[in-house]
Amino acid sequence: MPLVKVEIFKGKSDTYKKALLNGIHAALVEAIKIPDYDRMQRLYELEPQNFEIAQNKT
């Protein structure tokens, strides 16, 4: 069972977060053939001021 850890900026809708996690899971099912029921994901929401990223990156 792969454990997926996702970090995003806080403020995304529940619909967005669910679609993101569903997309990641679908990719794992297709790419490495995990069973569809085998799902363990953690979504961490970060405050933008607590996250540093290079200015020329998005």
In a domain, 17, yes or no: yes
Is 40 contained in some domain?
yes
Q: Where residue 21 falls among pLDDT bands split at 50, 70, 90?
A: very high
In a domain, 43, yes or no: yes
**CATH value at residue 32:** 3.30.429.10
Is residue 55 situated within a structural domain? no
Residue 58 lies in a domain: no
**Chain segment 32-55, per-residue pLDDT in tens:** 999 999 999 999 999 988 888 888
Counting the structural domains of the chain, the total is 1
What is the span of the domain harbouring residue 24?
A: 4-50
Torsion angle of C-alpha atoms 16, 18, 19, 21, degrees rounded to 10 = 120
Give the contacts of 36 (CB within 8 A, at least 6 positions apart).
29
The answer to pTM > 0.85 is: no
